[in-house]
C-alpha cells in the first residue's frame, strides 16, 4: 500500500462498499473523497511534497491546478518545489468557464506565458480536467513540463500518450465504473449515495424526466 493511500485513509477519504455516481454519470462502488483531505494541512502538504520530489529534476517555473481543489495542491506543490530548487516557483490555477473549459483569469496567463509548467490534479478518471488545463497552458504560450496526480483511477486510458506530455501518478487505484444500464449496484438495489459525489443531482435529474 502506498503512502498516498495511507494518507487518504487516515483522513477517511477512501470510502468503499457504497453506490456512487460521478460527474461523468458513471456508477461505481469505491469513492476517493479528496475534499476530506484538504482540511488537514499537514497531510495535504505531505502529498504535495511527494509531488515535488517526483518531478524535482524537471525544469519547472510554475505549478497550475484546476479550481477548486487544484488551488490548494498548486500552492503547496509550488512551495515544496521552491524549497527543493532554492528559487521561487509560482503557484496559480485555472477556473471553469461557461463552456466547462479550464481557463486562466486574474492575469495568471501572464505568469504562465513562456514558462515551463507543472499541472497538478487530485484524481483522474477520464483525465479531462487536467487535459483542459494543459490545453489552456499551451493556448497562452506556456509549455507543459509534466502532469502529476495523487491517484490515477484509469491507468489503461489515462497515460502520457493521452496527455501528449509526461504523466505521473503517485498511486493507482483502479475502480470499475459502469453505465447506469449495466450497473450491478443498480441491479442489486443498492441505494445511491446522496451525501457524497453526484448521486443527489443524478436522482433529482431522474425525477424531472
- Residue 207 in any domain: the answer is no
> Is residue 208 in a domain?
no
pTM summary value = 0.88
Residue 160 counted as domain residue: yes
Q: Residue 159's domain spans which residues?
A: 3-200
Note whether residue 107 is domain-resident. Answer: yes
Residues in the chain with pLDDT < 70? Answer: 1-2, 209
- Kindly report each contact of residues 49-54 with a partner whose C-beta sits within 8 Å and lies 24 or more positions away, as own/partner: 49/76, 49/80, 50/3, 50/4, 50/170, 51/77, 51/80, 51/120, 51/148, 51/170, 52/77, 52/80, 52/81, 52/83, 52/84, 53/80, 53/84, 54/148, 54/168, 54/170
Number of domains into which the chain is organized: 1
pLDDT of 162 reads 96
What pLDDT score was predicted for residue 23? 76
Give the CATH number, domain containing residue 48.
3.40.50.2020
Assigned domain for 95 exists: yes
Looking at residue 72, what is its pLDDT?
A: 97
Structure confidence by residue, pLDDT tens digits, 153-188: 889 999 999 999 999 999 999 888 899 999 999 999
11 found inside a domain: yes
In a domain, 206, yes or no: no
pLDDT at residue number 53: 97
Amino acid at each position: 500500500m502506498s503512502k498516498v493511500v495511507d494518507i487518504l485513509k487516515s483522513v477517511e477519504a477512501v470510502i468503499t462498499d457504497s453506490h456512487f455516481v460521478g460527474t461523468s454519470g458513471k456508477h461505481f462502488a469505491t469513492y476517493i473523497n479528496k475534499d476530506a483531505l484538504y482540511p488537514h494541512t499537514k497531510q495535504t502538504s505531505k502529498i504535495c511534497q511527494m509531488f515535488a520530489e517526483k518531478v524535482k529534476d524537471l525544469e519547472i517555473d510554475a505549478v497550475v491546478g484546476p479550481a477548486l481543489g487544484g488551488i490548494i495542491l498548486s500552492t503547496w506543490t509550488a512551495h515544496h518545489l521552491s524549497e527543493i530548487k532554492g528559487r521561487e516557483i509560482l503557484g496559480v490555477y485555472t477556473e471553469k468557464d461557461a463552456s466547462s473549459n479550464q481557463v486562466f483569469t486574474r492575469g495568471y496567463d501572464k505568469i504562465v506565458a513562456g514558462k515551463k509548467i507543472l499541472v497538478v490534479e487530485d484524481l483522474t478518471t477520464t483525465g479531462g480536467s487536467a487535459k483542459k488545463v494543459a490545453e489552456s497552458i499551451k493556448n497562452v504560450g506556456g509549455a507543459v513540463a509534466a502532469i502529476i496526480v495523487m491517484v490515477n483511477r484509469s491507468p489503461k486510458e489515462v497515460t502520457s500518450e493521452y496527455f501528449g506530455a509526461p504523466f505521473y501518478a503517485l498511486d493507482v487505484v483502479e475502480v470499475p465504473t459502469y453505465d447506469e444500464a449495466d450497473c450491478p449496484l443498480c441491479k442489486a438495489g443498492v441505494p445511491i449515495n446522496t451525501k457524497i459525489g453526484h448521486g443527489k443531482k443524478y436522482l433529482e435529474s431522474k425525477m424531472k424526466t
